[in-house]
Amino acid sequence: MEALRELFRDYRFAVGFVFLVLLAALAFLSFFSPYDPVRWLQVPRDEPPSWKHILGTNAKGQDVFWEATFAIRNSLVVALIAGLVSRVVAVLVGFLAGYKGGVVDRVLMGVADGLLVIPLFLILVLVAMLLREAMTIVNTGLLLAFFGWAWDARTIRAQILSLREREFTQTSLLSGNSTLSLVSKEYVPFTIPLIFSTLISNIAWAIGMEIVLAILGLVRLEIPTLGTMLQWAITRQAMLLGHWWWIATPLALTVILLVALYWLSVSVSEYLDPRMRIQRIGAR
Amino acid sequence: MDAIITVENLQAFYVLEVMGERKVIKAVNGVDFAVLRDEVYGIAGESGCGKTTLLKAIFAALEPPLRIFEGKVYYYPNGERVDAFSLAGEARRKLRWTYISYIPQGSMSVFNPVKRLRITFLDFLKSHVGGKREEELLTLAREHLVRLGLTPQVLNGYPHQLSGGMRQRVAIALATLLKPRVILADEPTTALDVVAQRAVLQLLRDVQKEFRSTIIVVTHDMGIHAQITDRMAIMYAGRIVEEGLTKDIFARPLHPYTRYLIQSLPKVGDKNTKESAPGSPPSLLYLPPGCSFHPRCSEVMEHCVQEIPPLKKINESHWVACWMREG
Amino acid sequence: MTVILETKGVSKVFSLGSWLSRVHLVAVDRVSLQIRQAEIFTLAGESGCGKTTTARMILGFELPTTGEIFYRGKRIDEFRDRKAWFQEVQAVFQNPFETFNPLRKVESYFFETVFNYHLRKDVKAAQALIEEKLQAVGLSFQDVAGKYPAEFSGGQLQRASIARALLTNPSLLVADEPVSMVDASLRMSIVNLFRTLRDSFGVSVVYITHDLATAYYVSDRIAIMFRGNIVEMGGVEEVLGAPKHPYTKLLLESIPEPDPERRQEKAMVFLEEREEYLRRGCKFAGRCPEKEEICSREAPQEVMVGGVFVRCHKHAR
């Protein structure tokens, strides 16, 4: 709790946090939606914002506000799946390669490098095209996760390598700690800021990537996400017809989401930075 | 006698804002001394006694949180007195490295790890010596290294390829390129083994002989002071507690702290038990009242707890701050 | 006297350079030494002489390329696991601020040691044991409780590090440059601790240093290492009192003597570590003042001269 209070002193954290809570609340609202997000023509088409439909309606005859609540929910789920799954892989691979070294290190880093050198975007497009019908929310998340761990695994490995050389590693072994508790007690506190900041940037990346895939029409378009909302708005000429509410809603939500994530990440990694923590300890 | 640096009633404190609380670390707390032309002056004391801060203040390298609260540091270029803290911009840049130079602790930080040493030397010369071609500057650097007995081949390598001792010597060579009148060396031998230490001492001696510079050496190692300095000061908790000719200090240490420092030094051929001063040095945040050394002193009197002893002249060159020597 | 640890022809070879131009560097070259019960044994030499690598092999942090290490007659790789071995042998390091993780409380290492080795069952008994060991080094549990490494002075932290090492009642303590980062005014209090450990607790100490003055003060026997070889080994009085190898003499001369009347102003040659390691013949020949023609051709063999082990051509005849 002490940590949270200190974090809230940073305006970037406070603003980012509030934005995220608002977006999460919006996503949560989707469970109370009066409309089915997939069905068309439930309301009059192309109406501008009014009291009845606060963000207007779209060309498919859907309420933009309620549609947006589904979109933000689904986009967040995709990004969280991508972020969390790739974090687990990156942490496991990074720790294992860094601590074990030798053959394990070479094999794991070989795989990571393999993923890094292939042109990621083309492969994503190719896979998405082939599996288009299977590109549900979960599968999109997993696909993004598959491509999102390699670089961060490398960064984590580098940090473990340098930590392994420090004397407290030996003290911990001399204190009778097993490898597992050595890693979790000595190394995790140093890598948490890294894991956390890569998690947030990975989430942001996944949100952007999902939008790109959707605009290219490579996911299942009937599922509302920030990406598919934009895709529909663009293909139905929302700009040309002056239906600004349809295109502005997903755009604004995306920008707010990305800015909030960025501020959170900067603020939290500054707070967790071991050097800053040591300074705070020393200054007591 | 000609002074080359004088320090007058210097108070340099670190002011920190920690969680909305203001903390003042009294690193240098009223220090007076003069360093003379052509001498090696030593400053001894343990970590956290303010000796590095004192060097920074003498070099006028004042970056927040370090602030000067009172006192002055004077330089004497061409015989005229200059206030080091009032120097600004161009005037300061001119005096730095030509009049006064600084060798910080830990020579690795001096060099750019990804550049060959030649580049570092060239960059340094380019920014201080105008109107010369690269070839000429390089020759200058080579000649300087040869003069100090180092091989000019080191210029072709990277810093990490050198051993710690060699790197330290190259750092000294870099700092003395422009033949400064005063060289400040912060713990030049710490973290080196005895053989590398000897090489550094040999080099410092050569520099002094070759350029007739004044050297101020800061180290906690009394052996180094005995080996190289002419005069020395002992610092404890931000103050000078004793100052004198090095040979007098070793022969007749007057302050109890100095006595502990000298008597606890081991020697080959002597297995008698040596005792360190009891306790630990105080935190500069919370100094004990009166004489800062009194909690560790075996000869403490009532007066010591109440009042800070002033630095008192014992003879022509020997000063001590201890109530035992009063009256 | 019982020998508790023995190394037999232990070598360590490191490969340097890239895959194409690989250089094999023999960091430790056939080192054989014995450490007896309740003695302080010094391994001395300049940086890059192989003393730390030797210590790491004794501790089992590094495996020897060739040779064997025995502890009370048992090969150390036959120990059941890391824990069984560290119950017998513990270590103290150079920089006390690196010995403990700066993000963790110092006391946690004490409790972990107690519980991992099943020394005590509950927190209260553990604390009593910790208190006992801290008292032995001149600290109390109060001084340590709840504090992070940054809140200690270097001297205090080094004592704490020694106290932690003593928890398992080890027979052997390896101390790698334990005082070189500690302030001059507190240095002797740490060195004196090693004497106490030997005299009162019967612990053997491997004391690694480049400083022959403290080595003389504290140790019983000493080995001088140079570029991977032991060049002289024997009782500390004999080796440092009447040095036989020119390198021992050089090391002794290089001690910055705390006496302004006796300054060491003789100029000396200094060579870089790597070129000496790759030298043929005697590795010290490059800067030996007593060098002969044979020295740069042939590596000297070890001989015993009056109970002292020496590796020098001058004494081989």
Side-chain half-sphere CA neighbours of B68 within 13 A: 21
Phi, psi of A203 (to 5 degrees): -60, -45
Residue with the larger pLDDT of the pair C205 and C137: C205
In this structure, chain B runs to a length of 327
DSSP string covering A11-41: HHHHHHHHHHHHHHHHHHHGGG-SS-SS-S-
The owner of tokens 């894991």 is A195
Instruction: Compare all CA atoms of chain B with the CA of A280 and give the residue at the minimum distance.
Output: B18
Chain B residues touching C182 at Cβ < 8 A: none
From chain A residues 191-210, the ones with a CB under 8 A of any chain B CB are: none
Strand-pair partners of C91: C174
Q: Which of C59, C99, C109 sits opposite A167 (nearest CB)?
A: C99
B268 vs C153, C252, C261: nearest CB: C252
Pick the closest to residue C175 from C153, C155, C190 (CA basis): C190
Residue C94: is its pLDDT beyond 50? Answer: yes
Residue of A nearest to B16 (CA): A283
Report pLDDT digits (tens) over B212-228: 889 999 998 898 999 99
State the pLDDT confidence band at C58, using cuts at 50, 70 and 90.
Answer: very high
Per-domain residue ranges of chain C: 3-245
Residue C17 has pLDDT above 80, yes or no: no
The answer to whether B285 contacts chain A (CB < 8 Å) is no
Structure tokens belonging to residue A138: 């979960």
Domains of chain A: 16-262 (1.10.3720.10)
Res. B20 pLDDT band, cuts 50 70 90: low
B15 touches chain A (CB under 8 A): no
Residue B223 at interface with chain C, using a CB cutoff of 8 Å: yes
Kindly state the percentage of chain B with pLDDT values over 90.
22
Contacts with B, C 113-132, CB within 8 Å = none
> B246-295, pLDDT tens digit by residue?
999 999 999 999 998 888 888 888 888 888 778 778 888 888 888 999 98
* Disruptive mutation site among B18, B21, B283 for chain A (greatest number of A CBs within 10 Å): B18
> For chain C, what is the largest distance between any 2 Cα atoms, rounded to a whole number of angstroms?
68
Q: Is the pLDDT of residue B60 over 80?
A: yes
A-chain CB neighbours of C151 within 8 Å are 281-282, 284
| C-alpha–C-alpha distance, residues A62 and A53, integer Å | 10
Residue of B47, B196, B268 lying closest to C213 (CB–CB): B268
- Whether residue C113 and residue A166 make contact (CB cut-off 8 A), yes or no, is no
Contacts 24+ apart (CB under 8 A), A270-274: A270/A10, A271/A3, A271/A6, A271/A7, A271/A10, A271/A13, A272/A192, A272/A193, A272/A196, A273/A193, A274/A189, A274/A190, A274/A193, A274/C102, A274/C103
Residue B124 token pair: 């340094």
At B86-137, the pLDDT tens digits run 887 778 888 888 889 998 887 677 788 888 888 888 888 888 877 778 888 8
CB B27 within 8 A of CB B14: yes
Which structure tokens are listed for A76? 């967040």
Q: Which two tokens stand for residue C135?
A: 């008292």
Q: How far is CA C150 from the centre of its chain?
A: 26
Q: How confident is the model at residue A283 (pLDDT cuts 50, 70, 90)?
A: very low
Extract long-range pairs of C72-77: CB within 8 Å, 24+ residues apart: C72/C4, C72/C5
Chains in contact with chain C (at least 3 beta-carbon pairs closer than 8 A): A, B
Rounded Cα distance, A147 and A15, in Å: 31
Tell me which chain C residues have a C-beta less than 8 angstroms from the C-beta of B268. 212-213, 216, 240, 252, 255
Give the burial string for A119-139 (b: 16+ CB within 10 Å, else e): eeeeebeebbeeeeeebebeb
Percentage of chain C modeled with pLDDT above 70: 98
Please give, one letter per residue, the 3-state secondary structure of C168-195. CCCCEEEEECCCCCCCHHHHHHHHHHHH
Q: What is the mean pLDDT of residues A102-114?
A: 89
B-chain residues near A280 (CB < 8 A): 18-19
Which residue numbers of C have CB closer than 8 Å to A's CBs?
Answer: 59, 61, 82-83, 86, 90-91, 93-95, 98-104, 108-109, 112-113, 116-117, 148, 150-151, 161, 164-165
CA distance readout (Å), C53 to B159, B188, C173? 23, 26, 16
The dihedral sign for the CA sequence A116, A118, A124, A127? negative
The residues that bridge with B101 in the sheet, in sequence order, are: B183
- Contact list, C272 vs chain B (CB under 8 Å): 162-163, 166
How high is the pLDDT of residue C136?
87
**Arithmetic mean of pLDDT, C106-118:** 94
- Kindly determine whether residue C109 and residue A282, on different chains, have CB atoms separated by under 8 Å: no
Confidence band, pLDDT 50/70/90 cuts, at residue B316 = confident
pLDDT tens digits, one per residue of A265-274:
888 877 777 6
Residue with tokens 């609380």: B21
B317 vs C: CB within 8 A: no
List the B40-44 sheet strands across, edge first. Answer: B100-103, B182-186, B214-218, B40-44, B231-236, B239-245, B319-320, B312-313
What local confidence, expressed as pLDDT, does residue A280 receive?
60
pLDDT value, residue C171: 94
Q: Which of A162, A170, A171 to mutate to test the interface with C (most CBs of C within 10 A)?
A: A171
* Chains in touch with B (≥3 Cβ pairs < 8 A): A, C
Mean pLDDT (chain C) is 89
Domain C3-245 superfamily per CATH:
P-loop containing nucleotide triphosphate hydrolases (3.40.50.300)
What is the rounded distance in angstroms from the CA atom of residue B75 to the CA atom of residue B78?
10
B257 touching C (Cβ < 8 Å)? yes
Q: Give me the mean pLDDT over the A158-170 stretch.
A: 90
Q: What is the average pLDDT value for chain A, to the nearest integer?
A: 86
Q: Supply the pLDDT for residue B1.
A: 57
Where are the alpha helices (H) located in chain C, listed in sequence order?
51-59, 82-88, 96-99, 106-116, 123-136, 141-144, 154-166, 184-201, 212-218, 236-241, 246-254, 273-277, 313-316
Question: Given CB atoms, is B7 within the 8 Å cutoff of chain C?
Answer: no
Measured between alpha carbons, how far apart are the two ends of chain A, in Å?
Answer: 18
Residue C24 has pLDDT above 70, yes or no: yes
* CB proximity A283 to B under 8 Å: yes
pLDDT one-digit tens code per residue, B22-47: 788 888 988 999 999 889 999 998 87
| Pair of tokens at residue B82 | 């200059």
The token pair at C34 is: 């014995």
Which ipTM value was assigned to this complex?
0.87
Does the pLDDT at position C69 exceed 90? Answer: yes
Half-sphere exposure of A56 (CA within 13 A, CB side): 18
| Shortest alpha-carbon distance between residue A197 and chain B (Å) | 24
B312 touches chain A (CB under 8 A): no
Q: What is the mean pLDDT of residues C257-277?
A: 78
Show residues of chain B in contact with C257, CB under 8 Å.
223, 226-227, 267
